[in-house]
Amino acid sequence: MNLHHKSILRWVLSLSILVFFGLFLKLPDVAWAHGDQLGADENSDVEKEEEKGPHGGAVIVSGDNHLEFTVDHASGEIVFFLLDKELMAIPMPESYSGVVYLTMADGSKKTFDLKRGTEGQVSHLEADTGIEEIGSFKIVVSLKNGEKRDNFRFSWAPDSHED
């Protein structure tokens, strides 16, 4: 009987260690870029996609639509486009607003409000950082649609986006 309890104890201990290290190793991916300033993401259905959007930016799924993140490296302008399921740009609803939190490669942090802009017939949200040759950074986007708020995380490295 004593041997059975030791086996169970070893199994529970092993499982606990695996769970602890599994959570510990994932923590740094979640914790970067203004973590406690934003709180937890409300939208757990958001997942990153590997494909590029019609404007050459990174695309993530957001509810029934997609969100495309683009950066003009030379001017530092950041633009977010709303895309449908076929990755076609659709107008950004008037109810959307947001803030971007940048963590620059040197560790400095910057915050910018998103403003409404248009490209052709399609409205979008943009932030003019005023940082020429912006370089690498991590970004947290806090989008608000009415009372609903979603946080999205992206990384930008100009070298990986050159054609």
| Stronger pLDDT, 159 or 129, i.e. the higher one | 129
Q: Determine which of 24-28, 92-96, 121-125 has the lowest per-residue pLDDT on average.
A: 24-28
Task: Tally the C-alpha atoms within 13 A of residue 70's C-alpha that lie toward its C-beta.
Answer: 20
- Domain co-membership, 124 together with 142: yes
Query: Into how many domains does the chain fold?
Result: 2
pLDDT given for residue 162 in this prediction: 52
From residue 87, give the alpha-carbon distance in Å to each of 11, 64, 147, 151. 48, 11, 26, 20
CA dihedral 125, 133, 49, 85 (to 10 degrees): 30
Kindly report the average pLDDT of the chain as a whole number. 78
- Domain co-membership, 52 together with 127: yes
Structural domain including 97 reads 38-161
Under a CB-based contact definition with an 8 Å cutoff, are residues 44 and 150 in contact?
no
> What digits encode the pLDDT tens for the residues 20-75?
666 555 444 444 444 444 444 444 444 444 578 898 888 988 778 899 999 988 88
CATH code of 45's domain? 2.60.40.2480
Residue from 111, 112, 96 nearest 144 by CA: 96
pLDDT given for residue 47 in this prediction: 45
Q: Is the pLDDT of residue 157 over 50?
A: yes
Residue 84 tokens, joined = 């449908």
Q: Determine which of 7-16, 95-104, 149-158 has the lowest per-residue pLDDT on average.
A: 7-16
pLDDT given for residue 121 in this prediction: 76
Tokens 């940048």 belong to 102
